Structure 1
């Protein structure tokens, strides 16, 4: 209610009676009117009584402290104020001020009709009284919701009578903006709301934006709300970001205008505001040890500075300097939270940091008078809100999508501009959400700065360090803010502190139980700790809130598969089978989590074609860097080719080919830098493979030649699909989908490496030529512990020929106390535990040790350090064993594999050669972004997968160590001397029978044991069990939660009898696991992702495997076939279809028959016979000589591959289309792959001789 306010503060203890006794001696306040009121009241006394009445009303409406009792105000209104006002009304009829307050008191007492009557009396006197109209509307609304249309009409009349009636405007806009209680959720009233905002502005601003009428400081925040509302409406209804910018800018600049009459108080443009914030930011930055670039420091005088005057006088020069410093955009200025308030004092020194527009000036002094705290608070909040709305637009918009008035020619403004606006918003009104948004921006900032003060001393502040500081500062305001808790938890999780991140996620969920991002992050953290069965609940809760949450979908599918809980997964078209919500088998393409996951991942992949669309691409600069890769420079034809490519990337026509511009630039950087590194080598040493003694460089290349290329500062981090590369192993995905997922992750790693503040400005120098031909090999692994990789690789490091190779091992995880690391560490030239080192320190050590070939043993497995490889410290970088697929990365040169695991036509360089030979150029939509034989992973083709070239091992790329670690003959015979084949076989049979009895004591001897220690194609296994009645399927409880899920599924799919023959045992230690691997009759391999280490373990134990290399393009589905063929008996263990898999298992099992023999100890044994037993005997009697278990042979073959890769790199023939490659007559001309030849004889006992 509006009483047309009189007066100021008063004292509630001063009653009406005491005041009346002062003004009218003897008067009392009892009843509806004063008893015996005077017939005439002087103007002085009338005004005093009315002023008192207003003071008393205001004081009770806004008490400075608690009232004596809840009903105190009502009693005072009824017994004191109402009688007084009725008397005043009688004494001076038609006094509008008295009637206005009388209407307010009636409303406060709940007597709405009397309030309306009082206001109607006013309108009878003054039909244009806006306060009376407003009060009628307010009291009418209080009568009930059904009266809201009538209330609206009265407020509208008040607004028409006075266009700056802010209370009426607020009520009107509330009812007009959807969802409104009057007009519902529809936007039909939106045009009328815009009319209100426009009408207000027409009565406040002229065409140039100057004020037509003064706005009192107390009302400025009301005007700002109207402006922000107009921007919000226009942005939501028209999608016009420009309108949002314009309206919020006006809301900001009205607060920045000076109240001084001699000042230029006209509108301030966004350009001046932004440049002023930049200058103020640099002033504050320099005060804490920040080094200001020389081009900027000239605008920072050593003493007091009028920022606005500096900007107005040098705006164009200043802007040019800032854009140059920012690399095409505004620079990132890194400040701590407490420094944001200092920006305000630099911007507004005459008002001590208070917004000038709410200050006033007393004619007696030139100093500005600061406003009351309430006005300052309201205006700060409104201005901060406008700044946040503006910042949010630039933070969330695509690069360059929203032009900045006055900065139209700037390439990009998004994140750095948003950060500047956030600084100012935070200085005005700190809020948890602002701290959160700033933290989000800072996590992607690539800059760093020195910081120095007397409290914390000197330190380096990176974007990530600052993000953590801002998150923590926000939590000091609101310790339960769910977004801050979640984002800080994710930042901590990225630092490897998963247990701490879980605490933050749980706290966020406790505050906001339906926060899908926190739920998904918590589930991911729990899964990463090895408890996928616990994670499922949180994934499902996240999807209940947001069914298309990418991380939740991918994590849920992964966790369900890990626990063999397939209900609701559905199925992809390529999987040929699906599982419905009840767990029943169904046709392929069944809707479910799998299909939803792939749809969401596809949507994420599409984002790559919309992000970074306006990155600067200086064709001249990039041409010059490409030319540096050639000693002779570029020919005219090459220049035209590259210029055309770069121009197309820079000016891609609308509706043309989709371009991942950021990905292309990162690919180009990864393509150029290794070639520059080789040119550095050739310039310094020549094309020298080795030297007899250490040499010094012949000459040093220019700085320009060795400059490290960096992505533009305006580039945002590449979006990566939520499906991790490693998880593609489990699903029947297409070639392109796998390639694209891995490539996008590779580009994110390339980007993260390139933007590190510590990365050298020059590329890493190449090592000098190997002295005496001794190549230095560096192995990098997170798994040099009790891990399958160490089980397989433990002897390789020591078996390297020390006369030709020096081996360095970089262990990136701490020691777990197991013996594997100790063995490896004692057998290499240098072993370094770098688990606590910074990436910079590790890379410095690699270059200091002059490593020629760096070997990646992790790929995309957990804990892998691909960031080290992305920095390109070494000439040759090779992927080996740890990850069975492509990395799709320019920082991996070779993949060690074999032709069975990786068919040659799936290699990009081989696909390119085949296309060249057949003279069939790829379609323009597929090959226009190819970099020679380095094909574009974004292309739509499914014809190739691997961006790496291959080092083809002659037998199997899988290495084993069983021959050294688990010498079976010694375990069987108990002696070092060899025994005959028949004796060895007899001992094996007896040992196997005893172990079988110990594990399955109730199992009849004539039962076939099918085994798999990694659950997989379960429906086929159940069919095999049904067709072989005397058989069981032996599985491990890994994880334990999988057992009940599998048994339930078995009952559902095959019935109770078959399900009863699925038996589980616990996971055993490695030694026991190897020993009991001989117990099964046949090991049934999984299909989408084969057994790797387990298959090697089982084959060493003598048990045949049955495997189906289902996918030509999935290395992980072909590993077991590779190993099977390396035994010499692969044709008996490898099949080509699901039906052949089932039939072969049944055939081998049903052909087994038994006969009784008496052992040398007199005991009687039942011995099985048949093809399956013959195959087992052949494996056992040949395992010491077959290539699969010949670790020394494998190591020597690997060395041949390393040596050939070094030769090709030195000579330049590794790179297709180089001058050296064109002139080459070597094997690399025909194939980019290195085909290692094994000339050592292989001794395998023939099947006939091995038959018992």
Structure 2
């Protein structure tokens, strides 16, 4: 390497230009010397800046015309380029392609840094992304080297068309393409966060530079691998990056990526990664059948390609074919035991079909890998690209005032954690990407409120309409352009939804959610402008009438609709305007038609709109309840000490609280409410709105009263209602289990079977209950069907064939039938890791009691405590909620043994003798009936059922109108606190506790 350096020092001056003439016929040798130096440097220390300079000098030697060395001291943007930039187009330049008198590279060299400054977005400090179609890059070298007919200017000096010259040209193009790709890889590395111009002016590197280098490499050397890399980069662009297609249609980066994958497959039809990536793209676009076909072909050619095996497995899993996915996952980890992407999917799929033999091994591996991913921080160096005072000015601007001395000191200390040059100071726990995104979000929320206060004062309401702030006046957050250079924040491969069923700590769950939140913030913030925008706040509500906006993709036949359908029309029209925004298209169901024909609220289908158009619509509708970061919950599901606002205030913040100040803790780093802090005693970053009974809303009283339609117009006393219910229940029991003796107790669980995790606790406990109650069965659903055989096999191994024979399965039923037949069960047994949610309300509406879990070991998991929250909202929760596995088992056995199952002769009321379960009439059931009719000595379980059934229309759980009124109180309080600035405080008084007026 010393010899190479000495040779270069004799030929290249300090400013990077050739200091002595080099024979054009031997320029390629100098090119090779520079490349070799760079490769050696890269092997010795890949972080050396000089390595990048060597690669760049090698490229310069090839592309720079020998007659026109670069001179940055007299650089200027040529008139034709300046005109194109000024007009916002490039057509005038493209029309000159092929003209021998037009040399683009020479024009760029003449312009020097002036051209870079003209191209760089002043708001973001980055170059724009250029999306080209595959056929366009084919002509790229002809555009760049038009005077040499696409050949490098400093290499070929002869026009002889012979095979030797052609091979020479091909070799140079191949070598040049290789160097371009090496340079691109360096800019993709985390060690290279900025490109230094010749005047040491920093320009943030984004995908644009790497993409351009790949375009040029592909134009010089069309190659399947390069096409694949371009496709991967285009898939990584934000959804706002679009171009106009051949038919005038907008096309995203992913749409163009598909063209590159297909182009690459024309070059190499069996390229493994092109095939696998094309299949993944098709799968993500919803073309699952086509994707599975691609994966099948890929694996027929490359049977041991781990990524294709996992992609095939993921596609099958996501389409509900978990049993079919498991063998592909197992093949992937057999080929590559370190392929962590397979662990989570394999664990989830095995759990879904109750294939528990190896599931725990892969689950533990998945959790280990995820925790390793969460421990990896993203240090970008972007904060150091701006002076400390600029960041402090941004903080002051967001606060709308000067900072107190103690606040100034705290903020400086935070920034200095990322400004220090000593790597030991920037701890691995200081996640710069997290801090940067949290800082910008913090600034946005404060500036929105500051704008409101400056425009309207601290007015919570107005007696007359106030002037609206124009959408055109939205403000770009200063310095937020650095966010565009961050790149998509890294995501752990365990998604938030998967945390429901995995035994994770509070900190792990918190970090998984946080990393996904950072990614979502980055995606939405950089969607179009690549800068954070402060949108105008709405004017004060006229006469206090608030505008509420609900954005959801579930306004179809979905559990959200099953539960919330009536809430939107039950809002008080005198106090609230309600707006619904559907981000998914109609499924044609009656549920969707319900929303579309309602007049009590405004329903807008925005499924085909861009994200920016949806945001603009929400702003134009002047939605008030969108600015407040609250979590609607209750103290059973979300204990108050699990909120950062209560438990995560930094100690030094608490020490400076005074009666005359309202502390805003800012953006702590690795302490307090920083999700990355080591604290394990909290999980929620939001402020809670505590509902008085349960946060869980139901719609059963409005939507699922079909069983009451069979009653006469005047049903009579509660005893009459109870008799009618018993008749319906007996007929339903016989129709489902015609072979079951009358004295057999029916335990049931209607959750998807993966909810049975952890297996060694819940399923084992169920089998113990069956053993202790010999005349009993356990009723489960084929949800999925593949789980049945595995559960029976496990039950046989753990409890023997007799107990296993009492585990009974039925198919999943449609919603109405499911709710109706819930009454057949005597007692429903809940799961602990992920409890029953909608199912719990279905069961309780039918009058069936449930054993719900509120175990201390799972108090940090909201998903584990929903059924307990729901049970308490019946006012009978004390009889159904348990706090340990032992109590769970004993309570179930006690309730089951309390049943009086002897045949009893009763006199059925005449008004019900000819009423059957589904309405209409039928012959009366025989005189021998199952239950005592006088309401005495029913046993504890039957008495509990009777109370649940007879009070269901008045209990808080099913009083949707009452729940909605309480929610409205929470909304009003949240709006008031936002206006007053109390939303940003920490402490016990930040919780909104809704008081129920009917208690």
Question: Same-fold call, TM > 0.5?
Answer: yes
- Structure 2 partner of 1:1039: 784
- Structure 2 partner of 1:1116: 863
Corresponding position: 1:628 with 2:397: yes
User: C-alpha offsets along residues 1024-1070 of structure 1, whole Å, 9 cap, x if unaligned?
Assistant: 11222111110000111111111111112211111111000011122
- Structure 2 partner of 1:961: 699
Partner Cα distance (1:1163, 1:904) in 2: 54
- Structure 2 partner of 1:952: 690
Corresponding position: 1:427 with 2:219: yes
SS in 2 for 1:984: helix
Partner Cα distance (1:932, 1:375) in 2: 57
Partner Cα distance (1:984, 1:449) in 2: 62
Once the 2 structures are TM-superposed, how far is the Cα of residue 946 of structure 1 from its aligned partner? 0.5
Using CA pairs under 8 Å that are at least 6 residues apart, name the structure with larger relative contact order, 1 or 2: 2
* Residues 451, 240 of structure 1: alpha-carbon distance in 2 compared, 3 angstrom cutoff: closer
What aligned pairs does 1:359-438 form with structure 2 within 5 A after superposition? 359-360=156-157, 372-400=165-193, 410=202, 412-413=204-205, 415-438=207-230
- Structure 2 partner of 1:908: 644
- Structure 2 partner of 1:1072: 817
Once the 2 structures are TM-superposed, how far is the Cα of residue 377 of structure 1 from its aligned partner? 1.8
- Structure 1 partner of 2:432: 661
Partner Cα distance (1:908, 1:334) in 2: 43
Q: Which of these residues, 812, 819, 827, is aligned with residue 590 of structure 2? A: 819
Once the 2 structures are TM-superposed, how far is the Cα of residue 234 of structure 1 from its aligned partner? 5.4
Partner Cα distance (1:1018, 1:712) in 2: 48
- Structure 2 partner of 1:1190: 959
Q: Which of these residues, 963, 975, 980, is aligned with residue 712 of structure 2? A: 975
Partner Cα distance (2:852, 2:680) in 1: 24
**How many equivalent pairs are there?**
950
Once the 2 structures are TM-superposed, how far is the Cα of residue 669 of structure 1 from its aligned partner? 1.4
Contact kept, 8 Å, 2:546 with 2:575, in 1: the verdict is: yes
- Structure 2 partner of 1:86: none
- Structure 2 partner of 1:725: 496
* Residues 398, 607 of structure 1: alpha-carbon distance in 2 compared, 3 angstrom cutoff: farther
User: C-alpha offsets along residues 891-950 of structure 1, whole Å, 9 cap, x if unaligned?
Assistant: xx01111011100111111124696898699xxxxx995289981111111111101111
User: C-alpha offsets along residues 471-528 of structure 1, whole Å, 9 cap, x if unaligned?
Assistant: 4443443344332333344444444444444444444434433232232223222222
What aligned pairs does 1:181-330 form with structure 2 within 5 A after superposition? 206=10, 208=12, 228=35, 231-232=38-39, 235-236=42-43, 239=46, 245=52, 248-249=55-56, 252-256=59-63, 263=67, 286=84, 291=89, 315=112, 317-318=114-115, 325=122, 327-328=124-125
* Residues 555, 616 of structure 1: alpha-carbon distance in 2 compared, 3 angstrom cutoff: farther
SS in 1 for 2:931: strand
What aligned pairs does 1:697-736 form with structure 2 within 5 A after superposition? 697=468, 709-736=480-507
Q: Which of these residues, 511, 515, 518, is aligned with residue 747 of structure 1? A: 518
Contact kept, 8 Å, 1:557 with 1:569, in 2: the verdict is: yes
Contact kept, 8 Å, 1:285 with 1:333, in 2: the verdict is: no
**Which consecutive residues of structure 1, in runs of 5 or more, have no partner in the other structure?**
1-193, 571-591, 854-873, 877-892, 922-926, 1218-1228, 1242-1252
CA RMSD of aligned residues (A): 4.1
* Residues 406, 501 of structure 1: alpha-carbon distance in 2 compared, 3 angstrom cutoff: farther
Once the 2 structures are TM-superposed, how far is the Cα of residue 629 of structure 1 from its aligned partner? 3.0
Q: Which of these residues, 393, 413, 417, is aligned with residue 644 of structure 1? A: 413
User: C-alpha offsets along residues 162-197 of structure 1, whole Å, 9 cap, x if unaligned?
Assistant: xxxxxxxxxxxxxxxxxxxxxxxxxxxxxxxx8xxx
User: TM-score scaled to structure 2, two decimals?
Assistant: 0.86
Corresponding position: 1:1212 with 2:981: yes
Corresponding position: 1:996 with 2:733: yes
User: TM-score scaled to structure 1, two decimals?
Assistant: 0.69
- Structure 2 partner of 1:845: 617
Partner Cα distance (1:1007, 1:340) in 2: 74
User: C-alpha offsets along residues 1099-1133 of structure 1, whole Å, 9 cap, x if unaligned?
Assistant: 11111100212311111100011011111111111
* Residues 822, 1200 of structure 1: alpha-carbon distance in 2 compared, 3 angstrom cutoff: same
Contact kept, 8 Å, 1:1009 with 1:1080, in 2: the verdict is: yes
Partner Cα distance (2:509, 2:546) in 1: 34
**Which consecutive residues of structure 2, in runs of 5 or more, have no partner in the other structure?**
658-664, 757-761, 909-923, 933-937
Corresponding position: 1:875 with 2:627: yes
- Structure 1 partner of 2:668: 930
What aligned pairs does 1:127-206 form with structure 2 within 5 A after superposition? 206=10
- Structure 2 partner of 1:531: 321
Q: Which of these residues, 687, 697, 710, is aligned with residue 458 of structure 2? A: 687
Once the 2 structures are TM-superposed, how far is the Cα of residue 1098 of structure 1 from its aligned partner? 0.6
Contact kept, 8 Å, 1:1155 with 1:1166, in 2: the verdict is: yes
* Residues 617, 517 of structure 1: alpha-carbon distance in 2 compared, 3 angstrom cutoff: farther
SS in 1 for 2:809: strand
Moved more, 1015-1024 or 631-640: 631-640
Contact kept, 8 Å, 1:721 with 1:741, in 2: the verdict is: yes
SS in 1 for 2:343: helix
- Structure 2 partner of 1:4: none
Partner Cα distance (2:648, 2:85) in 1: 57
What aligned pairs does 1:857-868 form with structure 2 within 5 A after superposition? none
SS in 2 for 1:823: helix
* Residues 324, 1005 of structure 1: alpha-carbon distance in 2 compared, 3 angstrom cutoff: closer
* Residues 848, 240 of structure 1: alpha-carbon distance in 2 compared, 3 angstrom cutoff: closer
SS in 2 for 1:832: strand
Partner Cα distance (1:203, 1:375) in 2: 23
Partner Cα distance (1:523, 1:990) in 2: 48
Partner Cα distance (1:816, 1:459) in 2: 25
Contact kept, 8 Å, 1:548 with 1:596, in 2: the verdict is: no
Contact kept, 8 Å, 1:684 with 1:701, in 2: the verdict is: no
What aligned pairs does 1:486-635 form with structure 2 within 5 A after superposition? 486-570=276-360, 592-610=361-379, 616-635=385-404
Q: Which of these residues, 783, 795, 801, is aligned with residue 554 of structure 2? A: 783
Q: Which of these residues, 675, 680, 704, is aligned with residue 446 of structure 2? A: 675
Partner Cα distance (2:490, 2:737) in 1: 52
SS in 2 for 1:682: helix
Partner Cα distance (1:393, 1:422) in 2: 13
What aligned pairs does 1:112-127 form with structure 2 within 5 A after superposition? none
Partner Cα distance (2:690, 2:401) in 1: 33
- Structure 2 partner of 1:836: 608
- Structure 2 partner of 1:116: none
- Structure 1 partner of 2:911: none
Partner Cα distance (1:248, 1:1038) in 2: 58
* Residues 1147, 393 of structure 1: alpha-carbon distance in 2 compared, 3 angstrom cutoff: same
Once the 2 structures are TM-superposed, how far is the Cα of residue 640 of structure 1 from its aligned partner? 3.2
Partner Cα distance (1:450, 1:1105) in 2: 52
* Residues 693, 931 of structure 1: alpha-carbon distance in 2 compared, 3 angstrom cutoff: farther
Partner Cα distance (2:786, 2:633) in 1: 35
- Structure 2 partner of 1:160: none
Contact kept, 8 Å, 2:437 with 2:522, in 1: the verdict is: yes
- Structure 2 partner of 1:1236: 994
* Residues 291, 633 of structure 1: alpha-carbon distance in 2 compared, 3 angstrom cutoff: farther
Contact kept, 8 Å, 1:290 with 1:450, in 2: the verdict is: no
Contact kept, 8 Å, 1:323 with 1:329, in 2: the verdict is: yes
Q: Which of these residues, 1058, 1066, 1078, is aligned with residue 803 of structure 2? A: 1058
User: C-alpha offsets along residues 291-349 of structure 1, whole Å, 9 cap, x if unaligned?
Assistant: 4799x99xx9x996656665666645555555674844555444444444655445444
Partner Cα distance (1:1068, 1:703) in 2: 51
Contact kept, 8 Å, 1:249 with 1:390, in 2: the verdict is: yes
* Residues 483, 1239 of structure 1: alpha-carbon distance in 2 compared, 3 angstrom cutoff: same
Partner Cα distance (1:539, 1:212) in 2: 61
Partner Cα distance (1:354, 1:639) in 2: 58
SS in 2 for 1:373: helix
Q: Which of these residues, 1120, 1134, 1147, is aligned with residue 894 of structure 2? A: 1147
* Residues 1059, 652 of structure 1: alpha-carbon distance in 2 compared, 3 angstrom cutoff: farther
Partner Cα distance (2:450, 2:653) in 1: 29
Once the 2 structures are TM-superposed, how far is the Cα of residue 406 of structure 1 from its aligned partner? 5.1
